[in-house]
């Protein structure tokens, strides 16, 4: 599954963005989601600080400390060190960070007022020059993983020491969400082996498997509870099990579902889980002779018992009936879910060809073999033979982007809290990851209108119409399930999981 999760990251436009749009225009569905997984939204704040240490362990290592890196394994570490102009709370609501306020002066001109009296970890003062330099690197550096995300930005200019102006190429309704991913560093900084930011923790030391951080006593905001933070990488899942069991770490991310039962028997460990916002689905290639026929696409939609997918994760998953999670801006609550109907699927296939059993080639990432076998059994039951090819992430990515895969399994995480990146990159005819060669003039028009629509109510209507077309009319693919993120927490640790899955030490306390 490691490869599959990596695939999810690279396909999505990355960034930890807010649910500001959801709060404003999608309140009912988001509140239902939040009340289920955050029944008590009031966090008890411990205003004291301590000399205690907190130890956190992950299954996967990270790429480095460069703020232009965007993969989740890197971000969950460096967000303890760096900050952006804006950030998000644990429910992914946009909140001020290094910017005190912001507003739109024109449809394509934004003003950001910066926070005064902020210091970097090296004692230097934060000002607009640092913001301009940080944006310049995120926009122009050849290794930047943020360039596509920030492609709507024309320029970033200093007006005075505490004011910057951002010009966009076109009206951008989610600019503030986008720039939450731009982390600020000192303008004279050009090396990140020992990163310097403005965040609540400063870099202390590192090794191949551990990062050590120390509380930054000059932090502009409330000082975090723990003095020292140790973030470990432990790839062996059995060793991860033992270190939490033995109390050698306080929080364990990436808990395998198969371990939860043993942990739940222990008096020293609590298990917490919440949806990952990652929807896994099959995508059709519309240039396939077989899948270009809408009847076959519809028959496949009727073939799956999606509740059965939950069994593969020991209950830590949820059936999906759309291509984004409930609560994401663009989810359409009016869509009637497709339920399994084996008889109907068989009848459609017999109508298509009463004499020949259809066969489909499906491509998947290495690590998805269990899911693949289940898909094989479900389609076999309705009379469709499949041949599954498992391959490396790089090979799968190249094959999909070249439009050479007849059908493929994909995971997509709407980390912006908004379906725009999914529609723009995976669904639009000219989408950078439209490996299924899907093309629909009306859908393209709606996507293009939504990209510059500053009226969020009308934009939501456009998104929901697109979702209905690709889900129930054109059958772009088959939504299958949404995975959960599982944490193991030592008793005595006050930790409230974030919807983005990041673990920020400044948000952790002790009883």
DSSP 3-state of 10: helix
* φ and ψ of 196, to 5 deg: -130, 125
Q: Is 494 domain-assigned?
A: no
Q: Is 48 domain-assigned?
A: no
Q: Is 303 domain-assigned?
A: yes
Average pLDDT value over all residues in the chain: 89
The pLDDT value recorded for residue 285 is 97
The pLDDT value recorded for residue 47 is 54
Q: What is the token pair recorded at 311? A: 């069994």
Mean pLDDT, rounded, for 12-28: 37
Checking if the pLDDT of 19 tops 70, the result is: no
Checking if the pLDDT of 62 tops 70, the result is: yes
Dist. CA 43–CA 56, nearest whole Å: 20
Nearest to 12 by CA among 316, 332, 457, 325: 325
- Confidence tier at 394 by pLDDT (50, 70, 90): confident
243-257 confidence digits (pLDDT tens): 999 999 999 998 988
pTM of the model: 0.83
Q: In a 10 Å sphere around its CB, with 0-12 CB exposed, 13-18 middle and 19+ buried, how is residue 255 labelled?
A: buried
The pLDDT value recorded for residue 483 is 86
DSSP state of 257: G
The pLDDT value recorded for residue 48 is 83
Lowest mean pLDDT among 38-42, 48-52, 427-431: 38-42
The pLDDT value recorded for residue 14 is 33
Dist. CA 313–CA 101, nearest whole Å: 43
Checking if the pLDDT of 27 tops 50, the result is: no
Checking if the pLDDT of 502 tops 50, the result is: yes
Q: What is the token pair recorded at 145? A: 């993983």
335-376 confidence digits (pLDDT tens): 988 889 999 999 999 999 999 999 999 999 998 898 999 999
Dist. CA 138–CA 38, nearest whole Å: 34
| Per-residue CA distances from 110 to 51, 146, 175 (Å) | 42, 19, 9
Which residues, including other chains, have CB under 8 Å from residue 483's CB and lie 6 or more apart? 275, 276, 278, 280, 313, 316, 317, 411
Dist. CA 349–CA 421, nearest whole Å: 34
Q: Is 400 domain-assigned?
A: yes
User: What CATH number does the domain containing 318 carry?
Assistant: 3.10.105.10
Q: Is 107 domain-assigned?
A: no
The pLDDT value recorded for residue 109 is 98
179-217 confidence digits (pLDDT tens): 999 999 999 998 999 999 999 999 999 999 999 999 999
Dist. CA 432–CA 442, nearest whole Å: 19
Number of domains in the chain: 1
Q: What is the token pair recorded at 42? A: 């009031």
Checking if the pLDDT of 490 tops 90, the result is: yes
- In terms of pLDDT, which residue wins out, 231 or 190? 231
The beta strand positions in 173-258, using DSSP E, are: 201-206, 210-215, 228-233, 251-252
Degrees, nearest 5: CA angle 6-10-13: 135
Mean pLDDT, rounded, for 370-393: 94
Three-class HEC string of 110-161:
EEEEECCCCECCCCCECCHHHHHHHHHHHHHCCCCCCCCCCCCEEEEEEEEC
Which residues, including other chains, have CB under 8 Å from residue 395's CB and lie 6 or more apart? none
Checking if the pLDDT of 145 tops 60, the result is: yes
Q: Is 379 domain-assigned?
A: yes
Checking if the pLDDT of 511 tops 90, the result is: no
Q: Is 343 domain-assigned?
A: yes
Q: What is the token pair recorded at 432? A: 């950078």
The pLDDT value recorded for residue 117 is 97
- Confidence tier at 35 by pLDDT (50, 70, 90): low
Checking if the pLDDT of 234 tops 80, the result is: yes
DSSP state of 311: G
Mean pLDDT, rounded, for 23-40: 46
In percent, how much of the chain has pLDDT > 70? 91
Q: What is the token pair recorded at 450? A: 């939504």
Mean pLDDT, rounded, for 59-83: 95
Q: What is the token pair recorded at 175? A: 């600019």
Mean pLDDT, rounded, for 140-153: 94
Q: Element (H or E) spanning 393, and its range?
A: helix 393-401
244-294 confidence digits (pLDDT tens): 999 999 999 989 888 999 999 999 999 999 888 889 999 999 999 999 999
| Per-residue CA distances from 406 to 348, 402, 427 (Å) | 20, 11, 16
Spatial contact of 216 and 207, defined as CB atoms under 8 Å apart: no
Domain that holds residue 412: 275-484
Q: Is 25 domain-assigned?
A: no
| Per-residue CA distances from 496 to 181, 251, 414, 454, 501 (Å) | 22, 11, 21, 33, 10
Q: How far is CA 496 from the centre of its chain?
A: 18
Beta strand 109-114 with 99-106: parallel, antiparallel or unpaired? antiparallel
Long-range contacts formed by 45-49: CB under 8 A, 24+ apart? 45/509, 46/225, 46/494, 46/509, 46/510, 47/222, 48/225, 49/215, 49/223, 49/224, 49/225, 49/227
The pLDDT value recorded for residue 313 is 75
Q: In a 10 Å sphere around its CB, with 0-12 CB exposed, 13-18 middle and 19+ buried, how is residue 278 labelled?
A: buried
293-310 confidence digits (pLDDT tens): 999 999 999 999 998 888
């Amino acid at each position: 599954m490691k490869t599959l999760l990596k695939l999810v990251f690279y396909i999505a436009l990355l960034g930890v963005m807010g649910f500001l749009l959801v709060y404003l225009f999608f309140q009912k569905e988001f509140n239902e989601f939040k009340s289920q997984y955050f029944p008590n939204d009031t966090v008890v704040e411990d205003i004291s600080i301590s000399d205690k240490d907190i130890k956190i362990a992950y299954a996967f290592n990270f790429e480095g400390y460069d703020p232009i890196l965007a993969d989740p394994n890197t971000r969950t570490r460096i967000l303890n060190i760096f900050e952006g102009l804006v950030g998000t709370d644990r429910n992914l609501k946009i909140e001020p960070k290094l910017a005190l306020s912001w507003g739109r002066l024109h449809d394509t001109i934004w003003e950001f007022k910066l926070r005064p009296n902020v210091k970097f970890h090296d004692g230097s003062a934060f000002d607009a020059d640092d913001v301009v330099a940080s944006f310049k690197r995120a926009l122009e550096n050849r290794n930047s993983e943020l360039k596509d995300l920030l492609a709507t930005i024309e320029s970033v200019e200093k007006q005075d020491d505490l004011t910057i102006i951002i010009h966009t190429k076109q009206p951008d309704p989610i600019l503030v969400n986008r720039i939450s991913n731009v982390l600020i560093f000192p303008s004279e900084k050009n090396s990140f082996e020992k990163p310097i930011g403005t965040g609540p923790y400063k870099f202390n030391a590192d090794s191949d498997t551990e990062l050590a951080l120390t509380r930054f006593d000059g932090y502009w905001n409330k000082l975090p509870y723990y003095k020292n933070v140790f973030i470990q990488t432990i790839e062996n899942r059995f060793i991860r099990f033992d270190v939490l069991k033995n109390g050698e770490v306080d929080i364990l991310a990436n808990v395998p579902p198969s371990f939860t039962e043993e942990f739940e028997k222990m008096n020293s460990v609590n298990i917490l889980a919440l949806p990952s916002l990652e929807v896994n689905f099959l995508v059709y290639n519309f240039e396939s002779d077989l899948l270009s026929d809408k009847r076959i696409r519809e028959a496949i939609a009727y073939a799956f018992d999606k509740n059965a997918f939950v069994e593969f994760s020991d209950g830590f998953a949820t059936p999906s009936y759309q291509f984004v999670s409930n609560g994401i801006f663009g989810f359409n609550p009016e869509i009637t879910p497709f339920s399994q109907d084996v008889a109907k699927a068989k009848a459609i296939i017999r109508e298509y060809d009463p004499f020949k059993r259809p066969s489909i080639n499906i491509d998947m990432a290495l690590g998805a073999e269990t899911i693949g076998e289940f898909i094989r059994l479900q389609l076999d039951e309705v009379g469709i033979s499949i041949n599954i090819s498992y391959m490396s992430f790089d090979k799968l990515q190249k094959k999909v982007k070249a439009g050479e895969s007849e059908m493929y399994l994909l995971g997509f995480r709407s980390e912006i809290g908004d379906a725009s990146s999914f529609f723009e990159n995976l669904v639009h005819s000219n989408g950078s990851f439209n490996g299924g060669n899907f093309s629909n003039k009306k859908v393209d028009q709606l996507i293009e209108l939504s990209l510059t629509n500053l009226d969020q109510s009308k934009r939501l209507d456009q998104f929901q119409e697109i979702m209905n077309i690709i889900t129930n009319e054109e059958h772009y693919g088959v939504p299958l399930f949404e995975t959960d993120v599982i944490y193991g927490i030592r008793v005595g640790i006050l930790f409230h999981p974030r919807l983005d899955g990041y673990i920020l030490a400044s948000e952790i306390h002790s009883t």
